[in-house]
Amino acid sequence: MVEITPGAAQPSRRLHDDYMALVGRRRLYSGILLALFVALMLGGFNLAADRNAGGFWSGLPSFFDFPRDVISEAWEARAELPGHLAEFLPALVETVNIAATATLVGALFAVLFALMSTRGLAPFPRLIPLVRRVMDVCRAVPEIVIALVLIYVLGGGPVPAMIAIAIHTVGALGKLFSEVSENASPKPVEGLQSVGANWTQRMAFGVLPQVLPNWFSYALLRFEINIRASAILGFVGAGGIGYELRNAISWGQGKFDQAAAVFILLFVTIVAVDQVSTLVRNRLIHGGAP
Amino acid sequence: MTDAAMPRDLRAETAALFRRRRLVAFAIPAAILAYLVYIFFAFDVPGLAARADWQNGQTLVRDSYSHKIHVTRDNRDGEIEASIEGERRFVFDDRTLPDWIAPGEDTVIDLGHGGHEVRYLADGGVTYDIPGFGRVAMMPSPEGVAVDWPAGVDPADLPGWINAGDNRISFVTEAGRLSVTRNRAEVFRYFTGWELFFFTLDSPYYGLSPAEVLSRAVSGEAGAIVNDVWTNSMWRHGDVAWAIFETLLMAFLGTCGAAIVALPLAFLAARNFAPLAALRFAVRRLFDLFRGVDALIWTIVLSRAFGLGPLTGSLAILLTDTGSFGKLFSEALENVDDRQIEGVKSTGAHPVARYRFGVIPQVMPVLLSQVLYFLESNTRSATIIGAITGGGIGLLLTQAINTQKDWEEVTYYIVLVLLMVIVMDWLSGIVRRRLIKGGGDAE
């Protein structure tokens, strides 16, 4: 009994020491990592503030100046606000149309690309890596680049913006779509194959019914993102509400009531689409099969 | 009796169901088609062909992979100058003059392609030897350009690649272009590749072979060589690297800042941590506001307060993403398993320790992976926001596009942006996979 105790205490003590050392080391690492992160954030922040036209601390008090100017000017001219809202509605419709068409066209191509890059479903399995790289590139190019280049060739208007957003949508949705179809059960496909269905039929009747709710939900989410993108592209020259916004704010004083109307339209649209798409997506995914 | 009725009902029902399904199967594509037809006219696609400028498209594509060298003679003083893209900054001197231009009494410009040759003659004339066509001799004078066509060519019926008028004559061949006006004669010769990518003409290393440059680097001139490349006045590699860094900085500051701001707020918006329903509602509406006011609007508001620059860009990302993160984080917090918190509580831990050991380890991998995902997509957004707020590679890119002639630089920047986004995508993919697999290392 007396002889055993030191022997038993030794390993447990060593275990305890080891454990504490391990915890200490992990805390040290976490601490270093945290310090590094804080240093990076502070350093980066200072660097960004240095390279900015106005400083952070000098700008902070005037943060609300612009919103206040816009609101006060809009309030003074509040009688004209409904008129402005009606005036900019066509531009808003154009922005939403750009986003909707781009989502639609992008999603159609994404379906094709997704099926071509899904293992087990692809008609030409050798092409899978190629299709995936193509989607990566489509996803990586910022819309603004394609839009500006296309504006140079095609002239202004909604088509360059639509193409630019559609290309990005193909990349983004293609990846998500193929992740969904990768998880689809292969049994219906095999069943259809055993009765002699061709590739199109296997996809249409074996895969689509399984993945459609998820695909639709991703496409809706994309539509929401695309409306924002379409507004930004308008701001750099592709037409639509963004273009009106730039005109309204760049003319300086006297047009802020118009800017306020654009802000309101944009905000309401984005929030409305956000809410509706969240509702529909929740019903699609949690509310059972339609 | 009921047994007999049932199957008929079932069949009728099924038939009705099929009819409805068939209707839906046709109605949805028909609706999409109708919408696209509407768009076709709303976007004025038929008028697109008229607006489109294919010449611009051609210039763009050709400039993106090739460059041209101009050889110009001023007919008034006889001065001959060779330069890259006709830019005054990049005029060749005797040391750097390409060997296909032979100065002398008559300047001979060899355009290759089986004997295309332009001569600027000492008497002010210009000749162009075109294989299979003959020698065209031109004599510009204040009255116009007199042309001596080769035998057998009818000046009234010239081929489409020659454009001749009284005061101006131009040729577009596979070897290049020649245009002669009263005041000047100009030859363009096209070359594949990006010119002056490493060294500009004023650098002593211009025109050396890679091996020579390497041997000079080894013999102690590495610093000067790197400096010449870094400060290249055409490609501005130093500025470009700095711009890419700035874009990444905007994405990093915006994303991480948003995560730091959103985490405490998310606790206030999560049902299981904030007992006060009114507060929860208020915080959630705040998140909706941050998300609903688009990054575009934030950018405008912020640039009024802070001026243009990377800080404005990072703050715009920060504000928008605070809304998104708040929503995502509070959802993650609502899905936390209570038993772990109770376990920590049962050891007598005070509230801070309860959060630290009961909640954070559960949600950290999820949160970090979302932060990484946003960091990756914000790299792209930062490029776009940079174009508006004037910072980073987005600014350089839009500037280069707006000049409408530096398409080789546009191509270069696009390639860099693509690489940047793909590398970020790949890095965050690696880290996220490690987070999900080895969840223990999350903190």
Residue spans of the domains in chain A: they are 4-52, 68-286
pLDDT digits (tens, 9 = 90+) for A33-86: 889 989 998 988 888 888 887 778 887 888 888 888 888 888 887 888 888 888
Residue A138 in this model has a pLDDT that exceeds 80: yes
Through-space distance between the first and last CA atoms of chain A, rounded to whole angstroms:
73
pLDDT digits (tens, 9 = 90+) for B272-317: 887 788 888 899 888 888 888 888 888 888 888 888 888 999 999 9
Work out the pLDDT band at B438, boundaries 50, 70, 90.
Answer: low
A51: closest CA of chain B, how far (Å): 6
pLDDT digits (tens, 9 = 90+) for B81-119: 888 887 777 788 777 788 888 888 888 888 887 888 888
Residues of B in contact with A167 (CB under 8 A): none
Work out the pLDDT band at B440, boundaries 50, 70, 90.
Answer: very low
A68-286 maps to which CATH number?
1.10.3720.10
Residue of B247, B328, B368, B384 to mutate for A, most A C-beta atoms under 10 A = B384
pLDDT digits (tens, 9 = 90+) for B331-371: 888 888 888 888 888 888 888 888 888 888 888 888 888 89
Rounded Cα distance, A71 and B364, in Å: 41
| pLDDT for res B441 | 43
Residue of A46, A71, A145, A224 to mutate for B, most B C-beta atoms under 10 A = A145
Q: DSSP characters for A41-58?
A: HHHHHHHHHHHSSS-HHH
pLDDT digits (tens, 9 = 90+) for A189-231: 899 989 988 888 888 888 888 888 889 888 998 998 899 899 8
Residue B271 in this model has a pLDDT that exceeds 70: yes
CB-based contact B391:A51 (threshold 8 Å): yes
The SS3 of residue B168 is strand
Question: Does the distance separating the beta carbons of A153 and B57 come in below 8 Å?
Answer: yes
pLDDT digits (tens, 9 = 90+) for B230-261: 887 778 888 899 999 999 999 999 999 999 99
**Whole-complex ipTM:** 0.81
Residues of A in contact with B410 (CB under 8 A): 149
What lies within 8 Å, CB to CB, of B79 at 6+ separation is: B73
Residue A246 in this model has a pLDDT that exceeds 90: no
Rounded Cα distance, B371 and B332, in Å: 13
The SS3 of residue B140 is strand
Fold designation for B237-442 = MetI-like fold (1.10.3720)
Strand order in the sheet with B168-173: B80-84, B66-74, B184-192, B176-181, B168-173, B162-164
- State chain B's mean pLDDT as an integer: 84
Work out the pLDDT band at A134, boundaries 50, 70, 90.
Answer: very high
User: In this structure, how many other beta carbons lie within 10 angstroms of the beta carbon of residue B113?
Assistant: 13
Residue A244 in this model has a pLDDT that exceeds 90: no
Work out the pLDDT band at B5, boundaries 50, 70, 90.
Answer: low
| pLDDT for res B7 | 62
Rounded Cα distance, B300 and A50, in Å: 20
| pLDDT for res B442 | 39
Q: Mean pLDDT, to the nearest integer, of B321-333?
A: 90
B370: closest CA of chain A, how far (Å): 16
Domain map of chain B by residue range?
A: 1-52, 67-192, 237-442
Question: Does the distance separating the beta carbons of A52 and B308 come in below 8 Å?
Answer: yes
Question: Does the distance separating the beta carbons of A66 and B249 come in below 8 Å?
Answer: no
Question: Does the distance separating the beta carbons of A153 and B60 come in below 8 Å?
Answer: yes
Nearest-CB residue to A270 (from B54, B292, B398):
B292
CB-based contact B259:B371 (threshold 8 Å): yes
Which pair of structure tokens corresponds to residue A275?
């809410």
- State chain A's mean pLDDT as an integer: 85
